[in-house]
Amino acid sequence: MALIVPVGAYFVMKGLSTQAVQMPRHYIYDSVRTTTVKGKLQVDTVWHRLPNFSFTNQLGQTVGLDDIGDKVIVADFFFTRCPTICPAMTVHMKKLQTGITNAKRVNPDKADFVHYLSFSVDPERDSVPELKKWADRFGINPDNWWLLTGPKKEIYDYSINQMKLGAIDGQGVDTSFYHTDYMVLIDRARNIRGYYHGLDTLALQKLSSDIVLLSLEKDPRRKKFWEGKLELYAVVFGLAILGLTLLFYFLKKEKV
């Protein structure tokens, strides 16, 4: 028993530590590193980390990714003069927000594990007052949902070069702005983990479940408590069981 129990516990713990959970996949990598660890070749992908930005939200506050903290992020692009998909996108984002907060049984106005961003592709006309009107129209809470404006070049660069999404300058004509209907899912490490059509109800259901999965995901940069120590724990546990077995044996022998 002194050997079977710790060995069994070792394999159970090892199985739990390597059990795969189907998490949202990563998108966009910067490089691939090849290293040799204990004589074995390992290939590590360095996923693209979104950089910080400095834009203005609907309250006139200068904000960035660094102000959001350790949260999952959902982002999309819009403009307040949009006559087509933007109102529907905002309504769907609002439903997504409400559904998640209700499911998690937290304050329906807040969610401490997810933050929403809507970048304006018409920042020259989407001033702070215009963003505030849009926010009031749809009942957007600025505590966890920012409507963002700023220098056009920086916003378009963030869309095209960082998030790999399309955007076309409409040159001041309301209906000629082009922007994607995708919502982008970003994890705590600021890696992109999914693109979802914001007008597709099935895609939004998938996004909702993926948000919850990412909120439960452990930071890959933080080592697990037992990582690399399973063999040591098994030995210590085995010695403890062996010691107890010997103790009970001698106690029983003394009584006899």
Tens digit of each residue's pLDDT (9 = 90 or more) over 23-69: 999 999 899 888 777 778 888 899 999 999 999 999 999 999 999 99
- Note whether 30 and 46 are within 8 A (CB): yes
- As a whole number of angstroms, the distance between CA 27 and CA 48 comes to 8
Q: What is the pLDDT of residue 167?
A: 57
Q: Report the mean per-residue pLDDT for the chain.
A: 81
- As a whole number of angstroms, the distance between CA 89 and CA 57 comes to 18
Fold type of domain 50-214: Glutaredoxin (3.40.30)
- Note whether 185 and 207 are within 8 A (CB): yes
- As a whole number of angstroms, the distance between CA 226 and CA 230 comes to 6
pTM of the model: 0.74
* Residue 81 CB neighbour total at 10 angstroms: 16
Neighbouring-strand partners of residue 42 = 35
Beta strands in the chain (DSSP E): 29-37, 40-47, 55-56, 62-63, 72-78, 114-120, 145-148, 167-168, 178-179, 182-186, 192-197
Q: How confident is the model at residue 218 (pLDDT cuts 50, 70, 90)?
A: confident
Going by C-alpha positions, the residue among 57, 176, 211, 195 that lies closest to residue 120 is: 57
Mean pLDDT of 238-245: 68
Examine the pLDDT at 11 and tell me if it is beyond 80: no
Mean pLDDT of 174-197: 86
* Residue 129 CB neighbour total at 10 angstroms: 10
| 57 Rama sector, left if φ>0, alpha if ψ -120 to 50, beta otherwise | beta
Q: What is the pLDDT of residue 5?
A: 46
- Note whether 168 and 186 are within 8 A (CB): no
- Note whether 166 and 121 are within 8 A (CB): no
- Note whether 104 and 111 are within 8 A (CB): yes
Q: How confident is the model at residue 226 (pLDDT cuts 50, 70, 90)?
A: very low
Instruction: Quote the tokens at residue 174.
Output: 């309301």
As a whole number of angstroms, the longest Cα–Cα distance in the chain is: 99
Amino acid, res. 149: T
* Residue found under tokens 């795969």: 20
Angle made by CA atoms 23, 148, 215, in degrees to the nearest 5: 20
Question: CA distances (Å), 69 to each of 37, 149, 157, 167, in order?
Answer: 33, 20, 23, 27
Mean pLDDT of 152-158: 94
Highest mean pLDDT among 3-17, 132-146, 222-236: 132-146
177, HSE (Cβ side, Cα atoms, 13 Å): 24
Q: What is the pLDDT of residue 246?
A: 72
Domain regions of the chain by residue span: 50-214
DSSP 102-134: HHTTS-TT--TTEEEEEEES-TTT--HHHHHHH
